[in-house]
Structures are given as structure tokens and as C-alpha cells.
Amino acid sequence: MPYPADRERDRPWVMRTYAGHSSAAASNALYRRNLAKGQTGLSVAFDLPTQTGYDPDDELAKGEVGKVGVPISHIGDMRQLFDQIPLAGANTSMTINATAMWLLAMYVTVAEEQGADPSTLAGTTQNDIIKEYLSRGTYVFPPGPSLRLITDMVAWTVSNVPKWNPINICSYHLQEVGATPAQEVAYAMCTAIAVLDSVRDSGQVPVEKFGEVVARISFFVNAGVRFIEEMCKMRAFAQLWDEITLERYGVENPKHRRFRYGVQVNSLGLTEAQPENNVQRIVLEMLAVSLSRNARARAIQLPAWNEALGLPRPWDQQWALRMQQVLAYETDLLEYDDIFDGSPVIEAKVNEILAGAREEIDRVQAMGGAVAAVESGYMKSQLVSSLADRRRRVESGEEIVVGVNKFDTTEPSPLQAEGANAIETIDPIVEMHAVEAIQQWRASRDNAAVAAALDSLREAAKTDQNLVEVTLACARAGVTTGEWSQALRETFGEYRAPTGVSGASASGEAGSEIARVRDRVRGTGEEIGERLRMLVGKPGLDGHSNGAEQVAVRARDVGFEVVYQGIRLTPSQIVAAAVQEDVHVVGLSILSGSHLEVVPAVVDGLREAGAGDIPVIVGGIIPPDDALKLRERGVARVFTPKDYELTEIMDEIVTVIREVHSLA
């Protein structure tokens, strides 16, 4: 029924857009424009070097600076990012994980410089490293030390920045790499259990304050276009969180047990073909996390209609913000109690998701918990298999994607009439300026103070001392992002997570087509005189590996011998592996926008190594003009998200190999 006359409408959720690119100054201007348009929170996108702990002049950062977010290399950049934005009154979400402690330290320092009391700061650091091993790939350190960094942050913020969410357990990217609703719920809860157990067992938080720890744990979820199922998933999430925090941790205060989550709706479901259809997808997905009052999101950020094409422009982000504002302020959504309570259909679906999630949680806990399930490769292989099954359903037409595998005839889109101008592009000079700026910063600071701060960090990392205070000292001294990360790399080591490819299955593929391509692979190998070998490579810092993994799985299924070493490789490492393994084709997957820099480096490297006859193919979010440039630089084929049929792609790769070997 409508809300009583003596009760106001529910307060709208925090409205954000995920934004940041080029430089701190450019991103600051964008943030201030968005806030002036009615955005009520900031969501900071950091570039890949910042996320993975490299400075702009590092070899691995080449081509990645400022592409998918803003580069923040030191406290000076952080000051510029929030210039004229009073942090005491802001609500800032930072999508940062491996280097979360470092970015929080700089944020708190800048807030103090503005005169803010840290105890008043409100916001969130994503800081969920488990899902990085499973999906986004921006991890740096092994699971154990990574969990230690998270534990220290949770313990420190509860005492010093009590309104801050020190971790945003993020199932969003799990869905993007294939998770079913039950898997998304289960693996997120397993991560929460791992973090809460670690904080409890560290002894850094008194038992009587543990409810405050639970109260600051937030979640960040995905919402797909099956919005009834997604809404049921959120109700299941809320119910299971209440159950776990009460029964496992004995948290009696229901306010502490409240399930608090933010959401970005499903970017993976956005299509390059007929991208105007993405508008209605985004709106429907927003309903999934707003219709049910008892499981409504606390913060929502929406992608733009053209994110499958490239980086959105300010106008595109404004459109996404207006969608939220129309729903919150023009409709009657916020005037009613939960409209689904008592529905037997909803209750049955929620119970189905709960049953599947509980079963999977028990399985992971029996293995030793989330960290053990990451190290064994179990969770990763489950997700790779789930995504392979989803791709099978799309390719077979069992799952319809409008404009892609059905209803694909179309009129020219006026939204794309501007061609390359329909997306935001980053001038390559941005990286050059960032490299010059970091060198000037190092030259102008007190390097003795920097060295002392880094020595203190290294020594503390060898003990069980909480690392936040020594990290704050590094920020104040002018340490750079790369230096902070390198100091911890020296102590903790680096890590390469299991790829999940070897344990994945793509069963149920269309038998006749995959058999035909398998015959071509076998026959071509016999003509050449050896089994066909493909190297699948992820150059640069782009850790979104699901596309590469699916290519590797399908290539193996059609008979290729597959070489896949995972993410974060330099072009020279890829070239060396291609030569050493004597492969017949190199396939590169890039989603970060660095394709014009790193792909030619691989092509040139192969030529210099005397292996210029090995063809290079590329897949990723690559605008048509850039695809043409890559072909001119010697790339044999370019595939984009519209090329969704993997078996057809495999067939075309065989054709490329035959062309290179002059086979009829």
C-alpha cells in the first residue's frame, strides 16, 4: 500500500557514474561537472598502472596510462583529483584493490590537508582481492599477504575512519566472467567469511566492536537483464548475509547485520551491434536493484549506452545519470513498501538461489575457504565453465540477444553517425606528460625522507604490525605508487593466479560445426607436418581475461595445442614465448584501449626475432578506425564483440594459417 501520510518518501540511493581518465586535472573537471548535474556520489576509476602498482614510466605501463581511469602516482595527483571538492562532505567510491591501502592513505591525507576530520569521511574502497584472482586480474601479491593488507585496513578504519567501508566485496565481476546467481552469491559470501575470519583472528579488533566491523562490510553487485531473477538474487543475498553474520559471528544488532550494497548494472551484456538497445537494457537492469524495497541498492552507477564501443563521453554519462533521476524523482517507486513480500513465485526463486548458494559455500569451506579455492583453481575453473556454457547458449540461439543473434537487421544508428567521435578518446600525449611529471616529482621531493619511509614500510611488512600508519607516512613523504608497491613486492613476492582453462569444459557445443572445424585443424596440421599451436596472449596490464580464456578453451576444443600463460605480459615476453613454443598463430586479447601501442610492439618483435611469418590476430574493444590501423601494421585479423561465434573465429584462424603457409 502507499506510504502513510505521516511518512515521507524513501530517500533515493546514492547516484554515481564511474569516471576518470587522462589526468587528475581532467578527471577533477569531469567530477565537478557531474556533481553540478545532480550526481550525489563520486566513483573513481583508476588507470591500470595505478591499480596494479606501477608508475607511468614503467615498461608494463606503456600504452595504459590514463586509458581506463585516472593515473594517481603520488599525493600531488590526489590533491589535484579532489581540488575544490570538499572531502568532508563527499561520498567517494574508489574502485581499487591491490593498492587500496595506498590510495586510501593518500585520500585521508588530502582530506586532512583540507581540514577534514578523518572520522567524518564517508566512502568505500573496493579492496576485494579474491575476485581479482578470479576475474579482473589487477592483483599484485599472493593471497595470504593480500588478505593481510585487507585485514589491516578493516581494523584501522573501524577505529580511525568509522564511516568508511574498507572493503566492497565485489561479485559484479564474477557475473561478468560467467557466475550463475547462486555462484555469485556463494563466492561473494565465501570472500566475506575469509575477510571476517581474518579480522577476528588477527586480534586487532576487540570482540565487543566486531559488530562494527560487520556493519562496515559492503557489497558491489551486478544486475543483468533477467531482472526478476536478479531481484530475487538480491533478496537471497540479504537473507543469507543476515543468517551468516548472526549464526557464524554472533552479531545481535540487526542494524549491523543489514546487507548494504551498491551496484553497476551489467556492462558485459551491452552490445556493439545495435548499441541503442543498450539503453533499455540498462533501465531494466536498474529495476532489478530498485524495485524490491527490502533489498534495494544503497548506491547505483549505470554504464553508458556506448561502453561496448569505447570510453563514454560526458554527455553519455549524463544520459545514464538522468535515467536514475527519472526513476527516483518522477515515478512512484519510493512511495511503497516492498511490493514482492508474500509472492509465492518470488519466494520460490529466492529459495532456489539460496539452496544453490549454500551448497556451493559448503563446498568451498570444505576446501579450506575462499583463499584455498583460489589457489587450487577450483573457483576459477567453475567460472570459466559457466561462461563457456553461456556462450554456447548464445551461439546456439537458445539464449536470445536482440540485435546480435536474432533481429539483427538494422537501420544505420544516428547515435553513431559521428564515427570515432561517438566515444571519448585519449590523446597519446597524456602518457608522455605523465612520464615527464613523475620524473619531475621524483627530482623535486625530499628523497632522503622517501627512502626512510620506504625502509619503515619494508621492515613493518616483515612483522605483524598494521601497515596503514607506515603507508600514511609514505604518502606524506611523497612516495610514488610504483615505489610503495615495489617495496611490498620485495617482501611479499608476486603471484600468478590459475587461469582455469585446463579444468574448464565447453560441453554441449554444436556438434557438427565444432567437428567440421576440428577436422580443418587436424587436416591443416597434417599438411604442415605438425599439430597446430596457438599462443593466446594478454599484453600490458589489462586483466579482464575472460575473453582470452574462452578463446583458449574453444581453441583447445577444436584441436589446437594452446599456450596460455595468463595476464600481464610484456610484448617481449609474448614474442619470446611464441618463438620458444614455435607456434603457428598468436592471438592477443585487449580490452583496455592500449591496442595501438602494444599490438604493433608484438608484431615488430616477431619480425626482429626472425618469426615475422607467425600471423598475429587481435580481439577486443577496438573501434573500426583503429582496426584498420592494426591491419596496416601487419595484423592478420581483428575481432570485436560483434564477432560472438567462437567456432567461426577458430575457423577463420585456420584460414589465416593456411594463407601464411600457401595452402589451397
Active site residues: 18, 172-173, 538, 542, 544
Q: Of 415, 384, 405, 402, which Cα lies nearest the Cα of 497?
A: 384
CB–CB of 540/48 below 8 Å?
yes
What is the C-alpha separation between 47 and 271, in angstroms, rounded?
Answer: 23
Dig out the grid coordinates for 161 from the structure.
575512519
Backbone region of residue 66 per phi and psi (left: phi > 0; alpha: psi in -120 to 50; beta: other values): left
Q: Comparing C-alpha atoms, which of 113, 45, 122, 137 is closest to residue 89? A: 122
CB-CB contact of 606 with 574 (8 Å): no
The H helix count followed by the E strand count for the chain is 25, 15
Identify the helix (H) or strand (E) that includes residue 655.
helix 646-660
Helix axes 571-581, 595-608, angle to 10 degrees: 40
- Rg (C-alpha) for the chain, rounded Å, is 25
66 within 8 A of 324, measured Cβ to Cβ: no
**Whether the Cβ atoms of residue 87 and residue 61 lie closer than 8 Å to each other:** no
Query: If you search the block for the grid coordinates 597434417, which residue do you land on?
Result: 526
What is the residue whose three cell numbers read 586535472?
Answer: 25
Contacts of 595 (CB under 8 A, 6+ apart): 618, 620, 622, 626, 630
